[in-house]
Amino acid sequence: MSLFSRRAVLVLPLALAACGFAPAYAPGGDAAKLVNAIWVDDPTEKRGFDLVQRLEERLGRPQNARYRLTYVIATESVGLGITPADVITRNSVKGVVDWTLLDKATGARRTGGRVQSFTSFAVTGSTVAGQAAAQDAETRLMRILADQIVTRLIAMAGELE
């Protein structure tokens, strides 16, 4: 390691501290107050189950939550890879989640938004393999969308009381 690199490594933490950077989950950090504080609405179908599962992995599952997170999921499957014989060989799954964070005591909206992403999967092979690939793609998509929601919650955690 060169001398320059060592100096940069030593100076970086000081520079970050000077600009007000603080780890989100550090004791007293803004995001620490989100852990075990948000009750996510119960899922009613598989996509919702996958979304809620990932949100609870990241935020915890509280007994007495201060906030309630509601959500609406919409997905669409679109054929991408098409052979000259008009056979679809690859699908893309687009997903959108509209979410709202509510104060459980008052019902007031604290924040909310829309997250969206996509993933894809191959549909070549047997019918069973195609169905398994489609289910796996939807699970991956819900995890991506849940992570986006958590990122937005962390970003605005300082504004929560």
User: Is residue 43 pLDDT above 80, yes or no?
Assistant: yes
Q: What are 140's two structure tokens?
A: 């991956």
> Poorest-confidence range of 2-6, 50-54, 80-84?
2-6
127: how many CB neighbours lie within 10 A of its CB? Answer: 8
Give pLDDT, residue 127: 84
What is the overall mean pLDDT for the chain?
87
Give pLDDT, residue 41: 96
Which stretches does DSSP call E strand in 87-143?
A: 88-103, 109-122
Which residues does 38 contact at the CB level (< 8 Å), separation at least 6? 55, 59, 62, 65, 66, 67, 68, 69, 101, 153
What pTM does this model have? 0.82
Q: Give me the torsion for CA of 77, 81, 87, 89, rounded to 10°.
A: -80
Going by C-alpha positions, the residue among 47, 27, 12, 23 that lies closest to residue 134 is 47
User: Is residue 31 pLDDT above 90, yes or no?
Assistant: no
> Poorest-confidence range of 66-70, 80-84, 146-150?
80-84
DSSP for residue 41: P
What is the distance between the alpha carbons of residues 110 and 123, in angstroms, rounded to a whole number?
42
Check: CB of residue 111 under 8 Å from CB of residue 103: no
For residue 12, name the pLDDT band (cuts at 50, 70, 90).
Answer: low
